[in-house]
Amino acid sequence: MIRYPISSLLIALAPALPLSAPLAAQTIPVIEDMPPVVVVAAPIIEGNTIDDYSSGITVVTEQQLKLLNAQDMGTALRLTPGVNISRYNQVGSHGGSEGGAVFIRGMGASRPGSEIKTYIDGVPMYMGLWNHPLLDLLSIDSASAIEIYKSPQPHRFGNAFAAVNIIPKRREFEGFESRVHVAAGSYNTFVQKAEHGGKVGPTDYYLGQSFRSSDGHRTRSSGEMQNYFARVGQELNENWYVSIFGLHSRNHGWDPGAQGAPPEERDGKYATEATLGSIRLEHAYDTFSGNIRLYHNHGRGRQLSRPDGTPDATWKFHHYGLGVREDFETWPGGSARVGLDHDITEAESGHEDPAWEGLRRRITSPYFALSQFIGDEEGFYLVPSKGFRHYDHNRFRSESAPHAGLKLGYVNTELHVGYSRGVLYPGLEVERILGINNTTWRNLHAETLDHYEAGIRHIWRQAAVDLVFFRDEGQNRYVLSPPPPGPPQELENIGSYRTSGVESTVRYAPINSLSLFAGATFLRSDPDELPYTPESTLTAGLNWRFLPKAMLSLDAQRVSGMYTGPRARRDGVLNADRVDSYYLINGRISYTVNFVPGKLEGEIFLAGENLTDQRYEYRPDYPMPGINGMLGVDLRF
């Protein structure tokens, strides 16, 4: 039985309590010839949606990224309910674990490997050899939106328990637009971005470039990020559209080391580089739509300049494959989805060691899903759904992932329940954990996660409330057994865990110039020392246009004490690292300026982090920055 503080739940839901009747049901007069009303964007997240298969999606748009002054994926999602982060530096991530990572409802700390996979436009982008994300490869500057999937969703993605996907920017209206962004701040932090997009007839394009650097708030905590992206699309006719997307990034971040520890214990510099290319062919008709995508990306991670004299190391990866998806609406109220993902991962070391060559994994996974709308959209309705994904792997046995759900609604209130299974195969890393002569990895099975969820949503004209209860049961986690030192070690599927929780969000816009948000996540895990699984995380935010040209954005977060560190794949090893609870308040104030009316517009802004100068850590003895700020200008023409 999970118990959560009632007072915390009431705090999270408080902004919606005065609204006692569905305002959407009231008659709203239509007034002609009124000037356009500018509605302030929602803070923190754009919103949550439940699709026809009873699966949830949280969306953060480009507007939220701007008002949060986000510089990377970690700062973009740090306030999203259900998400926690870790980082060392102001700019740049050190590797893919504590130095720069996101965790979703306790998932994502396994190293090597990860329960979370990351995508750009549906294309896998992560460290293929060690099988976990590298945040610096996921440039948020190319994002029109970021989708967060907090549970297995076999009808959308496979080989993961949770996922994050970047949707690239696209120019959708005739004409041209350009933007230049320059900012500077504490610790010699510098940010520069340039973008340009256009649409002429059936052709659209969007391209951009960004550069970030910082000396960091501690000795040897500097970092740098460079990103370039381009997208070109062509309407072939009224039903068909083709687009090409490319991205290149080059980054590095330093490990400042534990405070007070000898310099030789630092882990040096971690550098990343990657190039991605994809082509997507889409079509849309009255009763069916779909797409085909082909992709290839490659990159590397490098461990450099370690003070203890350890030689430099380089790990390279390649991802390539194709995806096909088709959605049908061929009978009243019914919909079907059919698709297939064919993904190949290859990797090698830069050590000129033949034993590292030829590492390859192939997963082919067809899937289908069905749903049926029954009832009246203006009254009672229900939507049952079901489906499954099948996995065929070139090294491990086949698996299947079923899912089923039910939505039940009346006007502005909707309940949903659902079950889904996640499947996560061992990656290329298992062939190198014990050395090339130990082949016990061949006996491994895929890890699985059974996810159960029930939730309720109510929407008013000015507010929306979501409340979700969930439970995750993980099995077959692979670990080293027995733990070192000891007899010859083997890899075995003997790990298991459970995570249960409740998550609530409230969005409320009492007037057009003010938008409020509150969110709360409460987690319980077994074993209770799972890293980055805080018992409570509370977030709040507001966007307020207090003058016609001036806007204030504030956000706050309180995270309870939690265990940290990577979740090592060793049997019986307990996690002893823990950090205290902390709270943060951040803000941004901006003023709109029309430098040349109709031709050159923009805003001047001042952003601040940790405004109350709190001491906090994501890893013991790795203090994060105190109060710091950034001043900049954003120009549009």
DSSP per-residue string spanning 181-239: EEEEEGGGEEEEEEEEEEEETTEEEEEEEEEEEE--SSTT--EEEEEEEEEEEEE-SSS
Q: What is the full DSSP assignment across 499-548?
A: EEEEEEEEEEEEETTEEEEEEEEEEEEESTT-TT--SEEEEEEEEEEEET
Per-residue pLDDT, averaged over 535-551, amounts to 97
Residue 4 has pLDDT above 60, yes or no: no
* Contact (Cβ atoms closer than 8 angstroms) between residue 515 and residue 509: yes
Residue 485 has pLDDT above 70, yes or no: no
SS3 label, residue 243: strand
Query: Whose structure tokens read 């192939």?
Result: 362
| pLDDT tier, 330 (very low <50, low <70, confident <90, very high otherwise) | confident
Q: What is the full DSSP assignment across 282-330?
A: EEE-SSEEEEEEEEEEEEEEEEE--TT-PPPEEEEEEEEEEEEEEEEEE
- Phi and psi, residue 56, nearest 5°: -95, 145
Q: Please give the structure tokens belonging to residue 139.
A: 């440039």
pLDDT at 403: 98
Distance (Å) of CA 241 to CA 55, 209, 289, 495: 27, 25, 11, 46
H or E element: which one contains 77? helix 73-77
For 184-220, the pLDDT digits (tens) are: 999 999 999 999 999 999 999 999 999 999 999 999 9
Per-residue pLDDT, averaged over 536-548, amounts to 97
Which amino acid would we find at residue 498? Answer: R
Closest C-alpha to 135, from 161, 116, 110: 116
Complete domains list, the chain, with CATH: 6-16+38-636 (2.40.170.20)
pLDDT at 483: 62
Instruction: Evaluate the omega torsion of the peptide bond into residue 5 and state whether it is cis, within 30 degrees of 0.
Output: no
SS3 label, residue 140: helix
Q: Please give the structure tokens belonging to residue 253.
A: 């971040």
Whole-number Å distance between alpha carbons of 154 and 544: 39
The separation between CA 320 and the C-alpha centre of its own chain, rounded to angstroms, equals 21
Q: Please give the structure tokens belonging to residue 564.
A: 């940290």
Closest C-alpha to 227, from 67, 71, 62: 71
* Contact (Cβ atoms closer than 8 angstroms) between residue 299 and residue 138: no
pLDDT at 435: 65
H or E element: which one contains 7? helix 6-13
Instruction: Collect all residues with Cβ–Cβ distance below 8 Å to 444 and sequence separation of at least 6.
Output: 396, 426, 430, 478, 491, 492, 493
For 334-384, the pLDDT digits (tens) are: 999 999 999 999 998 766 555 566 689 999 999 999 999 999 989 999 999
**Could you give the dihedral angle defined by the CA atoms of residues 583, 584, 585 and 587, in that order, rounded to the nearest 10 degrees?**
-160
Closest C-alpha to 86, from 569, 585, 531: 531
Instruction: Collect all residues with Cβ–Cβ distance below 8 Å to 542 and sequence separation of at least 6.
Output: 43, 514, 515, 516, 517, 552, 553, 554, 555
For 503-532, the pLDDT digits (tens) are: 999 999 999 999 999 999 999 999 988 999
On average, the pLDDT of the chain sits at: 91
Whole-number Å distance between alpha carbons of 219 and 222: 8
pLDDT at 576: 78
Residue 170 has pLDDT above 80, yes or no: yes
Q: How many residues does the chain have?
A: 637
Which amino acid would we find at residue 536? Answer: S
Residue 623 has pLDDT above 60, yes or no: yes
Query: Whose structure tokens read 């940290």?
Result: 564
Percent of the chain exceeding pLDDT 90 equals 82
Per-residue pLDDT, averaged over 262-274, amounts to 94
The DSSP secondary-structure symbol of 354 reads G
Whole-number Å distance between alpha carbons of 351 and 85: 32
pLDDT at 352: 55
For 67-81, letters b (16+ CB in 10 Å) and e give bbbbbbbbbbbbbbb
| pLDDT tier, 29 (very low <50, low <70, confident <90, very high otherwise) | very low
* Contact (Cβ atoms closer than 8 angstroms) between residue 365 and residue 348: no
Q: Please give the structure tokens belonging to residue 631.
A: 């001043």
Q: Is 376 exposed, middle or buried (0-12, 13-18, 19+ CB in 10 A)?
A: exposed
Whole-number Å distance between alpha carbons of 338 and 366: 8
Name the least confident of 234-243, 309-318, 505-514. 309-318
Name the least confident of 68-72, 82-86, 109-113, 318-322. 109-113
